[in-house]
A and B are shown apart, each in its own frame.
Chain A
Amino acid sequence: MATYTLTTPLTAEDTKQLVAGDTVLLNGTIFTARDAAHSRLVALIEAGEELPFDLEGSIIYFVGPTPPKPGDPIGSAGPTTSYRMDSFSPTMLKNGSKGMIGKGKRNQAVKDACVEYDGIYFGATGGAGALLGKQIRSAEVIAYPELGPEAVRKITVEDFPVTVVNDTKGNDIYQIGRAKYEVKA
């Protein structure tokens, strides 16, 4: 299992080298979106309208941060559970996005879309919001401020630690890891 340092936007060359279980330190601009924002973004895509940011090579982080303390760019910002975005993610990947950060397993359609469009599903450590929030250098709400924690934010990260869960070959670290340690009765 290798460790890579990558900077956004990601290319197919970046993503195709990654294998489930690898550690990646992400740098650059990332966009945040949860359930409600995904619903709106996909509706815009389906209507052929312009999105609030460029999807090409983008990484979407499933997060709803706590409010920032004075002087901080953002509060605690760990991943939320990803399956709630399963119905939206294939559309995002098809339209140029190259990665997602969340926690927990994805459905087969998302895994297939990762293979078809050279996308990666990264896992960040759930519940490590203070640690992960510290790797975010700037944050700006760029769409849907009325959604509060669920608004779309443009954030800049530095060495943001993630693990490759689903790679472009169809591997899944949750299945691989569990099979290795499961004790059958």
Chain B
Amino acid sequence: MREIEFDVVVKAVKNMIMHCGTDLPQDTYMALEEAMEAEKSPVSKEVIRQILENADIAKDEKRPLCQDTGLAVFFVNVGEEVRINGGLLRDAINKGTEEGYTEGYLRASTCEPFSRANLKDTLGYNLPAIIHFDIVLGDKIDIEYAAKGGGSENVSRARVFPPAAGKDGIVEYVKEVISDAGGNPCPPITVGVGIGGTFEKACISSKHALFRDLETTNEDPEMAELEARMLHEINNLGIGAMGMGGTKTALAVHIESNPCHIASLPVSVNVQCHSSRHTHITI
């Protein structure tokens, strides 16, 4: 059984958060450059130019890319042959989150649902992190992190369709969600679509789909084709960068599909803004 010190995890999580807060991942930056090139609307083109200039300033001066530095969302794959020495893995990730958000001058955005009291002085700075664990083979810990902003999360939706809805029904639903969202989620967006499983499985899959690098294609050719179809239909909506009107509303559509119950076809649409801050490490 391999042992990893608690503090090693804390430091690794802290570092990935601080880096992600100021340095836009390469795949996102490149996708935005391509979008600026392809965009037909001069107004949207100018918006994307500002977004890229913002990324340059943030990286050079180590300023947060956006004031909404998100809730900290993690997908963690824990090898069966590894244990944490000196505490719980969940606690280490939360501690790394608190330290990363504090030392990186990122925003504390967690609050109590009804009083709206900020939790930074009670529960901890930007705590709790949202953590999805899985157990895998091996002796390593794989940690994926994304900063998930509120504007894009607020337009996300899920629905359980009857099986007869099929691909056409899902495409229409995704279009409807993105059309209603307009400029609110800060396009050009990434769209995560979770299909199948149960209600919550579809939701978690749609979230995880947003962690995939933007330049990758789906390993399943059938899903790759469906992604391309959805992307085309979304870009035909004309929403454009920040809703100003244009031809590049989405940078990518990513699907995660799961087996489901014979009676249901669950679908979840989770949206990420143009500032798709995501990264992953293996310890």
Residues of A participating in the B interface, judged by any CB pair closer than 8 Å: 1, 21, 35-36, 63-69, 75-78, 80-81, 83, 103-105, 123, 125-134, 147-149, 161, 163, 173-174, 176-183, 185
Contacts and interface: CB of A to CB of B under 8 A. Distances in A.
B192 to A, nearest CB: 18
9 contacts: A64-B68, A76-B64, A76-B65, A128-B51, A130-B57, A131-B54, A174-B244, A181-B238, A181-B247
Given A21-B43, A103-B184, A134-B57, 18 more contacts: A1-B43, A75-B63, A75-B107, A81-B154, A103-B183, A103-B243, A104-B184, A123-B244, A127-B66, A128-B50, A130-B57, A131-B54, A149-B118, A177-B44, A178-B243, A180-B245, A181-B247, A182-B238
A127 B186 contact: yes
B237 A78 contact: no
Contacts of B120: 148
B57 A127 contact: no
Contacts of A66: 64, 67, 69, 105-107
A163 B275 contact: no
B194 interface: no
B147 to A, nearest CB: 11
Nearest to A126: B186
B245 A173 contact: yes
A157 B190 CA distance: 32
A9 B169 CA distance: 51
Contact of A178 (B61, B116, B118, B238): B238
A34 B172 CA distance: 34
A179 B105 CA distance: 40
Given A103-B186, A127-B66, A68 B238 contact: no
Contacts of B242: 103, 123, 125-126
Contacts of B53: 128, 131
B210 interface: no
Given A104-B182, A127-B186, A183 B236 contact: yes
B128 interface: no
B244 to A, nearest CB: 5
B64 A174 contact: no
B41 to A, nearest CB: 6
B151 interface: yes
Contacts of A132: 54
A174 B246 CA distance: 10
A160 to B, nearest CB: 12
Given A130-B58, A131-B54, A149-B107, A64 B240 contact: no
A127 B41 contact: no
Nearest to A173: B244
A129 B54 contact: yes
A28 B240 CA distance: 30
B273 interface: yes
B67 A178 contact: no
Contacts of A133: 63, 67
Contacts of A128: 50-51, 53-54, 66
**Which of B184, B238, B243 has most chain A Cβ within 10 Å?**
B243
A78 B275 CA distance: 12
Q: Which 8 A-B pairs have the closest CB atoms?
A: A177-B245, A182-B238, A181-B238, A104-B184, A183-B236, A128-B54, A130-B58, A126-B186
B238 A126 contact: no
A36 B115 CA distance: 10
A147 B118 CA distance: 7
A105 B51 CA distance: 19
A76 B24 CA distance: 15
Given A81-B184, A177-B41, A181-B41, A129 B67 contact: yes
A32 to B, nearest CB: 11
